[in-house]
Amino acid sequence: MTMGKLDGRTALVTGGCSGIGRAIADLFAREGARVGIVDLDAARAEATAREVEAHGPAAAGAGADVSDEPAVQAAIARIVERLGPIDILVNNAGIDTTHEVDGMPTDMWDRMVDVHMKGTFLCTREVLPAMKAKGWGRIINISSQLAHKGGRTMAHYCAAKAGIMGFTKSLAYEVAPFGITANTINPGPVDTPLLQALPKEWLAMKKGELPIGRFGRVEEIAPAALLLASEEGSFFVGASLNMNGGDYMI
């Protein structure tokens, strides 16, 4: 049996049923981690966990809207009960909608901020005590290149993703003394259901802008999460990893 980079670790991936989160869950399992998946639909989370478990030691799913405090607490407790305390948290759950600021419905704004910022805060707060007790932990937050770049009709998304970045940097100060790192991953456009739901004209325009001439694949994002999650990632503190096909070079 070859050694995995995450042998003995327990990871939790929010939004792990689809796209980038699913690819991270699969890669972490292949690298030896027990993987918990929290997603909106409990049955889907459990079914995904069974698939993820096929190439890893163990997996468990639980349903929660990451912006719902009691639901988050219950879901994480359920995962911990089955897999043990969380060593690695990937705050990945996300949504995308488009609207100009002029006329944007307030509930569209609120939902965006709640899922991304409140969800990241709630899940992080829930796992920190056990990480501190162990003296080791990894918080990996999925932001977006659009936090830096901005995006037409996406002010709410860009604000929420920039909020995640500020949160992560401040968190990194707080937790580094406890052997815990906090970092963001800022993907460019990656071919997932979230991206494909955007207007066709936007997708065509975006593809035309990309130096690489194509959208990213989820398998091209997951290795960055593995690096941050692994022992080798220990010197990344409050960092932003940008993989975006050249869409935004910083």
> Which residues bind to ligand NAD, rule: CB under 6 A?
14-15, 17-21, 39-40, 65-67, 92-95, 115, 119, 142, 144, 187, 189-190, 192-195
What is the enclosing helix (H) or strand (E) of 183?
strand 180-187
**Shortest distance (Å) from residue 187 CB to ligand NAD:** 4
Question: Phi, psi (5° rounding) for residue 130?
Answer: -70, -35
**Shortest distance (Å) from residue 6 CB to ligand NAD:** 20
HSE value, Cβ hemisphere, 13 Å, CA-based, for 56: 31
**Residue 197 CB: number of other CB atoms within 10 A?**
12
Contact assessment for residue 14 and residue 39, using Cβ atoms and an 8 Å cutoff: yes
Q: Which residue do the tokens 């993989």 mark?
A: 243
Which of 237, 141, 138 is CA-nearest to residue 186?
141
The CA distance from 150 to 80, in Å, is: 37
Token readout for 13 is 């991936």
Q: Which CB sits closer to ligand NAD, 4 or 157?
A: 157
Q: Which CB sits closer to ligand NAD, 137 or 187?
A: 187
**Shortest distance (Å) from residue 140 CB to ligand NAD:** 11
Q: Which CB sits closer to ligand NAD, 144 or 230?
A: 144
Label residue 220 left, alpha or beta by phi (over 0 means left) and psi (-120 to 50 means alpha): alpha
Q: Which CB sits closer to ligand NAD, 4 or 24?
A: 24
**Shortest distance (Å) from residue 102 CB to ligand NAD:** 23
**Shortest distance (Å) from residue 16 CB to ligand NAD:** 7
Catalytic residues, which ones?
157
The CA distance from 231 to 250, in Å, is: 26
Q: Which CB sits closer to ligand NAD, 113 or 194?
A: 194
